[in-house]
Structure 1
């Protein structure tokens, strides 16, 4: 197996990981993977037209947003791109910001203890259109018209999957509160017959003609700019300007404010995509890259720093000792996430240098109790490890893993805590991986605007629900208190891994707070336990709920641990004796998509969990 030579990983893997439900995808020229087969086809179409992995990833992003694969066009996009022309990894920050007037006082006046879960007040400024166009303009080869063609065909009408159609029907009461959402999602609604199905049926052509018009406007702006003699890049940015400063932006603002939202035209016009330097750490010779503190990505890097000197392979795959060690490491990394992560473009500055210090990791490692779960695991103080003094020592001393507002009364209806904790904890996103023979590698974890989404008027654009990831109380996290123009700390977390400067892995996963847990276990499955990409993606993992949820009431459940029946009763009993509340579920949530690259052979291996619809195409 070529990847073993590339990663120098173990040659023996757990017997339970040998057989897989799906085969490994093998390719020499390219791989396109995402949350829906139709969207993977959109990526393959770009490669067939001479596009690179960025073009393919952008087409898959547009297609998944059009299919509402736990995101819509008004959501947010987070990406890592390996650029073979520079040999560097770049980050794409296309997360929206809180609108004008979004202050803690405003939401408290509405009777809320957190910003709402749904509706116009849950929306940050749209990020996905801007993220797609910036990636395409800066790193792609094809035109916007070519890349959006699959999305436009789907907006004209595509056979909706039964699972998604039924999801719409389940959420009909929420959707029906917003006129344009009701019109788009509930085409069969009969107010006089509440028992009649309102959503499309599975396999029915689902039409989004307003969204189609919006996408056509973007393509028209590009065409006009090209006709005026502008370059390919300039023409794509002309479309960008039309979305954020033109008639599309005006319609989004009008419709949102009409329904009680806070957007202004200046909020959209002033927002920008950041092309930024990601953060990384080296784990046993492998450089792992993540976006910085505006998402939870550094938590995985912190966990790897803590784990690096520990003989996790010697503990045995998914043994009680191994699971306990992972759980304790995650406790420490996620406690830091819950207190220190936030928007790096908004003061105060997060202590990322200290958080990723190997010396800080050693200090945190010393706190691990070898035979009992620490339900009181707290954030540490990384500031001394970057030569600074912590400005929040008083808040740090008061910090509790149980948010102080979690038991407060929220507002009524969908606006506060309408989704049960487990669904919120696992909520929200798709994943996209693409790679090509020229060396471009892309990992994207877009999200926001999932069903039930508020559709902003005739734009057809379903807006984000990311405001709910802010807090109103600085005692929970002084870096993530809502403010106009600020990004909420999101859960979305694409990943790239390089060895000796060459990309060897791209991987990300759907879900909410479980994402970094899933990806940490996937990475160890490959690097420590010798699994191939498909075995690692399908392997049953464990889920901790000890960190604070980023959704709903931000609940923490110290000691709660989900495992599958593959974990033997002996190991479960050992974990219970260590203080864990062990629950056995048929399958833990881990819909990973991944590409492993063998630089020696010049080939790709693609894999996707058998949990849902995720898969891909390779050539």
Structure 2
């Protein structure tokens, strides 16, 4: 076996993997206490709010795939909240905006992650709410070793927080000083918030009632009231460089609940792969698999230029369709069945040439030409950022410290239940902390366009087309896979590459994750200021000079990343015989898998 940075974790009792070692350890603690994968995933999610506050928060959002042992397919839980009732294009334009800012109060949608966790726990968990929240309360109350990246992010924003967002200054710079990397950092207001939620929930007579009482405390009780009160008067600086009030109210929270949905799927070389709907970018991975299914990737060197070129060109086509045709299917009639059809993929496959394309090429779908034309036109604009603080979800390579990203969780328990979840939003740099709660609002509304008539046009009650995108798959031999990554627009690029290497390279999970990664920023960014980089290709130097030179010769604008900086993948697997496996990326030195 070839060298890997760490072993693939194997066992039979349970595996938990995430983007922070403390969360993975907490997941195993919950499994050891007799909890199932659904309990463990939720406990991990709440801990990640505390230990990776620059990547996600309690007022963020989350799509989740869950699969109960014995089920033929996973189920989606939608924790993506919609735009508030007051979020109209007319209002935003009246505020002098042409793009939704990447931070600040107008960037917020209804926070959905908490409702999604409560729905999962109410219907499928086994432990009381206190067991789920206690680890997060512990680290919020008593402190955790703050990641260097968190400390640097806070230090870089200290002056901005003090001047513009004083509630954030008080939370993230207690005593007026940014935390030193590795020092203990606490968030007592957040601990108090969860303690109060518990106190109100534990009045309920049973476990399911606790989850519903907690949900009510969040969406109709004291948390919603605190958000409503704050947003009535707050007027703060945003990424577009102006001080603006928000439009969300407590009623917006009360009107929303997390929901179940069926996933989308395609077959690929005997595997079935499941993703969330087109309110996420998840179907791009399915489209890419369809496009690539007619190409013999198995005959290629999976670390070679031909493979990188072919996959990159397929991804460009899929993401062009994302920009034209994805959005909230509850608010627009989306051509998903066409996009995922073999016939459509055959036509798209013919567009992959010997050299890198620099064009935005959404497919032609009769009757929707205006959507495609608008997507191409938007991508050709010069969209410049304002002078405010940004809050996008960039690639992890060359990461600007001030930008947020995401976390990811995969869990499989001894019974065969599994979860893949990608929480995000509510970053410490996305919006001011709501007074008394210890948590900032999210900035997911930046996915919307301020132009009427498109699936991603800003509209009250509409879900933004999120980048968040967990994955599940099942192989022809019965193995079940849960995987995902942070990384904004890169999520369904890195996941596709991992999956192709598992299928065609017969690598184990850790080998597939450790192998050199690449991605393109050729298409329209989902994040303010919505830039494009035609022909761009970022690749890790581990591909070698010959491969990088070959890619340049094929016309790619190759940007060589710093070593070990691209991708934050984690994965868990259950073999048909019950053997469990898990792995996590060594990149950034904080993700870990645990299991036994």
Task: State the TM-score, normalizing by the size of structure 2.
Answer: 0.92
Q: Classify 1:329/1:415 alpha carbon distance in 2 versus 1 (closer, same or farther; 3 Å).
A: closer
Task: Classify 1:293/1:395 alpha carbon distance in 2 versus 1 (closer, same or farther; 3 Å).
Answer: closer
Q: Does structure 2 conserve the Cα–Cα contact (< 8 Å) formed by 1:323 and 1:542?
A: yes
Mapped pair 1:614 → 2:595: no
Q: C-alpha distance in 2, partners of 1:22/1:536? A: 12
Residue aligning to 1:447: 424
Contact 2:168-2:428 at 8 Å conserved across structures: no
The answer to whether the 8 Å contact 1:87/1:501 transfers is: no
Q: In terms of mean alpha carbon deviation, does 330-339 or 178-187 score higher?
A: 178-187
SS in structure 2 of the partner of residue 413 of structure 1: coil
Report the counterpart of residue 494 of structure 1 in structure 2. 470
Question: d(CA) in 1 for partners of 2:70 and 2:290?
Answer: 30
**Which string of whole-angstrom CA distances, capped at 9 and with x for unpartnered residues, describes residues 173-200 of structure 1?**
33332232111101132xxxxxxxx212
Alignment of 1:168-247 (within 5 A): 168-176=154-162, 177-189=164-176, 198-226=177-205, 231-247=206-222
> How is 1:309-320 mapped onto 2 (pairs within 5 angstroms)?
309-320=294-305
Summarize deviations over 1:327-375 as a string: whole Å, max 9, x none.
11011111001111111222x1211111111111111111211x11121
SS at match of 1:336: helix
1:273-352 matches, within 5 Å, as 273-346=258-331, 348-352=332-336
Displacement of 1:523 in angstroms is 0.4
Return the offset for 1:575.
Answer: 2.0
Identify if the C-alpha distance between structure 1 residues 414 and 564 changes in structure 2 by more than 3 Å, giving closer, same or farther.
closer
Q: Which stretches in structure 2 are left out of the alignment for 5+ residues? A: 235-244
Partner of 1:513: 489
The CA distance in 2 between the partners of 1:545 and 1:397, in whole Å, is 20
In 1, the alpha carbon distance for the partners of 2:166 and 2:66 equals 39
Task: Give 1:41 shift.
Answer: 1.7
Q: 1:534 and 1:501 mapped to 2: Cα distance? A: 19
Pick the aligned partner of 2:541 from 565, 589, 606: 565
Q: 1:378 aligns with which of 337, 356, 361?
A: 361
Q: Once superposed, what is the RMSD of the aligned Cα atoms?
A: 2.3
Match runs of 1:384-395 below 5 Å: 389-390=366-367, 392-395=368-371
1:121 pairs with one of 96, 106, 130: 106
Alpha-carbon distance change, 321 to 88 in structure 1, aligned in 2, over 3 angstroms? closer
Tell me if structure 2 keeps the 8 A contact 1:159–1:202.
no
User: 1:385 aligns to what?
Assistant: none
SS at match of 1:236: helix
Shift of 1:480: 0.6
Q: Is 2:270–2:475's contact at 8 Å kept on the other side of the alignment? A: yes
Alignment partner of 1:527 is 2:510: no
Q: Does 1:554 align with 2:530?
A: yes
Which residue matches 2:130? 145
Residue 404 of structure 2 contacts residue 427 of structure 2 at CA under 8 Å; is this kept in 1? no
Secondary structure at the aligned position of 2:511 is classed as helix
Q: Given that residues 54 and 404 in structure 2 are in contact (C-alpha distance below 8 angstroms), is that contact kept between their aligned partners in structure 1?
A: no
Q: CA deviation at 1:577?
A: 2.3
Deviation sequence 1:240-273 (CA, Å, 0-9, x none): 0111011221111111332122111210000110
Point out the more displaced range, 109-118 or 92-101: 109-118
- 1:401 to 1:24, Cα distance in 2 relative to 1, 3 A: farther
Paired residues of 1:426 and 1:511 also in contact (CA < 8 A): no
More displaced stretch, 34-43 vs 107-116: 107-116
- Tell me, in whole angstroms, the C-alpha distance in 2 between the residues paired with 1:410 and 1:306: 34
Structure 1, residues 284-314: CA drift from partner, whole Å, max 9, x if none? 1111000011111000000001111211121
CA contact (8 A) 2:394 2:403 kept: no
Instruction: Report the CA distance shift for 1:415/1:317 in structure 2 as closer, same or farther (over 3 A).
Output: closer
Aligned counterpart in structure 1 of residue 352 of structure 2, from 368, 390, 414: 368
SS at match of 2:566: coil
2:237 alignment counterpart: none
Please name the residue that 1:33 is paired with: 17
**Which whole-Å deviations, capped at 9, do the CAs of 1:378-410 have from their partners, x for residues lacking one?**
11134xxxxxx52x3234245427535543x66
Within 2, Cα distance between the matches of 1:246 and 1:272? Answer: 14
Gaps of 5+ in 1: 1-12, 190-197, 383-388
